[in-house]
């Protein structure tokens, strides 16, 4: 393969070839980095135009197992449905490139990214976006802006930009940025929480007093990343991102195809209609805005449109719909920017009313019904063992992996008043579930358990993914699962007219639709565990972002206080909720716990109705039971054995006499426990000089008797009664 251009980014060389393969596509880029090879293509369909200002863009990121020298596992030896990683990567590329297309671009567009070769250190998500952007840039579509990705990690306390996968696995931070040479477009972030930092329990707003950022009040250990540290890392990462795109544009410009003349079909606003609505129907617009549910608001606006058309029959309904939407958007934004009041009457930083009910499902292991305003999530938790983990295999992993913490998010149509059937999992559902998983994962240590959280969205008017985070945390606590901190999530928004801006806490659907930013932040009172941001403005300053982060922290702290109150009211589903406990013992006592031929451990299992696993090397004990009382009883019994002083083994001789205890009676005699815990058999014929028909007639379990050592048969001791 002949490469047209090499671009070196932070000591990593990327080689691009344009036009040598996939020549019938509108644009293509063959990218080689290390031993990874990716092909990205862009194709538009000029025979069909989709109107209504909707961009019909589809992005598909596809991995082939041959790229890593593998054959697909399972019954079918051909790649089938996309993996979660493929779907999530497709979403990242889509969200990064969608803002580049001009308004009214209605031609169906397909971007395909195929991984042909993959080495174990390549960041395929970064390479996928870079290749797709290169293919789009050199295509004959009139797009002249490069978009690329940069990832940041924190390894051993040091910032690493564009880390290898090995470095990322040892990192406490995963920060993925995409943008142009001028603007930041998207952020995906999670904190792994493997570095424990002592932090402040008390919230200090640095906008009010930046000198108080290090005050310690009731300090504890946190797994979250502080806002100031994150902003500092964003600043350094963003600088590299901007420099990278400038390099790409200079390198790719000579290979760009001649631009096609493509007509955009954006609706042109009818100013006559808009002025008529402003002059005559503003009360109706405001009344529709007060209909907080999407379905109710749509109905009110539709009725307004019909009423206007009764007197303006000559007007085009599509143009009128656009004009009404435009005036409604002006009212929403103007009221926020000028009056600092939102459509539902809230202050800019006010969170909607919250109610929390736990364990509303009596036969589930745990559950939480979390309601915030008109958004409601029912989150249900199920516990399992190691065998219940989700098996998966990524392209760059050497073998099969197990996922023991799963978050599955479902968004049925009825949650927004839509009459639509429930089909398979959509990309959005997968993405929201993944965000909630990243938010909660740093605060739990399952240690052998498998936990599945399922979030059923019952009603939605803004940020159901953040309701999933809050409800997910409460479901964890309702299952008595230990967490290192309390985590909540809040969705932030922003409205800006260029000179003036307003940051909104806990945005609802109307503000998401008519606003300029969708910014989801999860974390504790101390810092952030996960974050996702999409910017519609084309960029955001770090000063504004910092203000938004601290306003999110204030809102998050408010939600956490409500969650902590609800946590105190939790009543566990006793009898349904399984219990698991882990602890360590001195490995030298394992023999006593197991007992001769496993007798002791079988007695514990039967008595307390539990399952016991013991690691003989390090003394780790795992007890699993149907209820908490059984697990605690078994644990107490084991600790009793461990804490009982060991009796030195006695060297028995034939003819020695000892006092023993009748441990178990059987048909052919009785097992007698000798002073050091060793068992011996007292045969029925050796119990008495007289014939004994039934052992239980002359002996009872727990009775003390004196016995004599008669003989040794291998490891067994034969006894006679004195």
pLDDT at site 210 = 33
Residue 72's nearest CA partner among 389, 393, 390 is 393
pLDDT at site 47 = 80
CB environment 286-309: b (16+ within 10 A), e (fewer): eebbebbbbeebeebbeebbeebe
Computed over its alpha carbons, how large is the radius of gyration of the chain? 33
Percent of the chain with pLDDT over 70: 93
Q: In Å, how far from its chain's centre is CA 17?
A: 37
CATH of domain 657-721: 2.40.50.140
CATH class of 354-567: alpha beta
Beta carbons of 344 and 508 less than 8 angstroms apart: yes
Residues in the chain with pLDDT < 70?
Answer: 51-53, 193-223, 266-267, 291-295, 537-539, 645-649, 714
Round to whole Å and give the CA distance between 188 and 172.
Answer: 14
Round to whole Å and give the CA distance between 638 and 633.
Answer: 9
Round to whole Å and give the CA distance between 368 and 709.
Answer: 64
pLDDT at site 587 = 83
Q: Which positions ≥6 away from 254 have C-beta within 8 Å?
A: none
pLDDT at site 618 = 82
pLDDT at site 664 = 87
Beta carbons of 134 and 248 less than 8 angstroms apart: yes
Residue 612: count of CB within 10 angstroms of its CB: 20
Strands 704-713 and 657-666 turn out to be antiparallel
Query: Could you tell me the CATH superfamily of domain 579-643?
Result: K Homology domain, type 1 (3.30.1370.10)
Retrieve residue 372's tokens. 């915030």
Side-chain-side CA neighbours of 393 within 13 Å: the count stands at: 12
Retrieve residue 318's tokens. 């599509």
Residue 479's nearest CA partner among 439, 446, 524 is 446
CA torsion 492-493-494-495 (nearest 10°) is -150
Q: What angle do CA 465, 185, 154 make, to 5 degrees?
A: 75
What's the DSSP call for residue 225?
B
Q: Which positions ≥6 away from 630 have C-beta within 8 Å?
A: 579, 608, 609, 610
Residue 485's nearest CA partner among 527, 453, 519 is 527
First to last CA, the chain: 94
Phi and psi at residue 674, in whole multiples of 5°? -85, 170
Retrieve residue 256's tokens. 């760009």
pLDDT at site 576 = 86
In 207-279 the beta strands, taken as DSSP E runs, fall at: 220-222
Q: Where are the domains of the chain?
A: 5-255, 271-339, 354-567, 579-643, 657-721
Q: Which CATH number fits domain 271-339: 1.10.10, 3.60.21, 1.10.3300, 2.30.29?
A: 1.10.10
Phi and psi at residue 322, in whole multiples of 5°? -60, -40
Residue 472's nearest CA partner among 554, 369, 390 is 369
Beta carbons of 128 and 147 less than 8 angstroms apart: no
pLDDT at site 345 = 85
Q: Which CATH number fits domain 5-255: 3.30.230.70, 2.40.50.140, 3.40.50.2000, 3.30.43.10?
A: 3.30.230.70
Residue 42's nearest CA partner among 68, 67, 22, 62 is 22
Q: Quick check: do 579-643 and 657-721 share a fold?
A: no
What's the pLDDT tens digit per position in 319-345? 888 888 888 888 888 889 888 888 888
């Amino acid at each position: 393969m002949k490469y047209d251009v090499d671009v070196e980014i932070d000591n990593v060389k990327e080689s691009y070839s344009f036009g040598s393969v996939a020549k019938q596509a509108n644009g293509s880029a063959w990218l080689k980095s290390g031993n990874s090879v990716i092909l990205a293509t862009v194709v538009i369909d000029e025979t069909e135009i989709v109107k209504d200002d909707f961009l019909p863009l589809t992005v598909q990121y596809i991995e082939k197992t041959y790229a890593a020298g593998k054959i697909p596992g399972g019954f079918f030896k051909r790649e089938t449905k996309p993996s979660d990683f493929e779907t999530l990567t497709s979403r990242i590329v889509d969200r990064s490139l969608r803002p580049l297309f001009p308004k009214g671009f209605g031609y169906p567009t397909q971007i395909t990214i195929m991984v042909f070769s993959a080495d174990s250190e390549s960041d395929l998500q970064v390479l996928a976006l870079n290749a797709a952007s290169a293919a789009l840039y050199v295509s004959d579509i009139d797009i002249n802006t490069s978009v690329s990705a940069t990832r940041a990690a924190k390894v051993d306390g040091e910032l690493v930009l564009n880390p290898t996968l090995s470095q990322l696995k040892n990192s406490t931070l995963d920060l993925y940025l995409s943008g142009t040479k001028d603007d930041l477009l998207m952020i995906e972030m999670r904190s792994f929480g493997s570095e424990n930092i002592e932090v402040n329990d008390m919230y200090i707003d640095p906008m009010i007093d930046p000198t108080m950022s290090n005050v310690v009040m009731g300090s504890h250990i946190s797994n979250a990343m502080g806002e100031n540290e994150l902003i500092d890392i964003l600043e350094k990462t963003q600088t590299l991102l901007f420099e990278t795109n400038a390099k790409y544009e200079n390198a790719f410009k000579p290979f760009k195809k001649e631009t096609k003349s493509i007509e955009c079909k954006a609706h042109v606003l009818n100013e006559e209609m808009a002025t008529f609505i402003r002059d005559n129907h503003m009360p109706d617009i405001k009344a529709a805005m007060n209909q907080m549910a999407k379905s109710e608001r749509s109905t009110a606006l539709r009725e307004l449109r019909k009423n206007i058309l009764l007197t303006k029959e000559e007007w085009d309904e599509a143009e009128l719909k656009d004009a009404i939407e435009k005036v409604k958007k002006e009212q929403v934004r103007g009221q926020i920017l000028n009056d600092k009041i939102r459509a539902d009457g809230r202050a800019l930083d006010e969170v909607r009313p919250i109610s929390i009910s736990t364990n509303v499902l009596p036969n589930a292991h745990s559950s939480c019904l979390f309601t915030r305003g008109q958004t409601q999530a029912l989150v249900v938790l199920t516990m399992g063992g190691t065998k219940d983990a989700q098996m998966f295999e990524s392209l760059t992993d050497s073998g099969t992996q197990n996922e023991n913490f799963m978050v599955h998010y479902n968004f049925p149509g009825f949650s927004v008043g839509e009459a639509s059937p429930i089909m398979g999992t959509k990309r959005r559902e997968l993405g929201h579930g993944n965000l909630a998983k990243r938010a909660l994962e740093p605060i739990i240590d399952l240690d052998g358990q498998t936990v599945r959280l399922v979030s059923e969205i019952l009603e939605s008017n803004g940020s159901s993914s953040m309701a999933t985070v809050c409800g997910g945390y409460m479901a964890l606590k309702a299952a008595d699962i230990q967490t290192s901190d309390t985590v909540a999530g809040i969705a932030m928004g922003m409205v800006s007219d260029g000179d003036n801006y307003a940051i909104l806490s806990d945005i609802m659907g109307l503000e998401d639709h008519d606003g300029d930013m969708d910014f989801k932040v999860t974390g504790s009172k101390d810092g952030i565990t996960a974050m996702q941001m999409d910017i519609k403005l084309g960029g955001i300053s770090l000063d504004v972002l910092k203000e938004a982060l601290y306003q999110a922290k204030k809102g998050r702290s408010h939600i956490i206080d409500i969650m902590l109150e609800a946590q105190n009211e939790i009543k566990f589903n006793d009898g349904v909720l399984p219990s698991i406990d882990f602890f360590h013992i001195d490995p030298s006592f394992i023999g006593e716990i197991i007992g001769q031929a496993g007798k002791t451990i079988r007695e514990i299992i039967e008595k307390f109705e539990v399952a016991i696993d013991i690691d003989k090397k390090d003394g780790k004990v795992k007890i699993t039971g149907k209820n908490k009382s059984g697990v605690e009883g078994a644990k107490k019994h084991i600790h009793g054995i461990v804490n009982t002083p060991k009796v030195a083994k006695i060297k028995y001789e034939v003819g020695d006499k000892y006092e023993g205890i009748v441990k178990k009676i059987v048909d052919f005699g009785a097992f007698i426990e000798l002073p050091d815990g060793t068992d011996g058999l007292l045969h029925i014929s050796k119990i008495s000089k007289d014939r004994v028909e039934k052992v239980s007639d002359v002996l009872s379990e727990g009775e003390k008797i004196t016995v004599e050592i008669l003989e040794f048969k291998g490891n067994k001791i034969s006894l006679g009664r004195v």
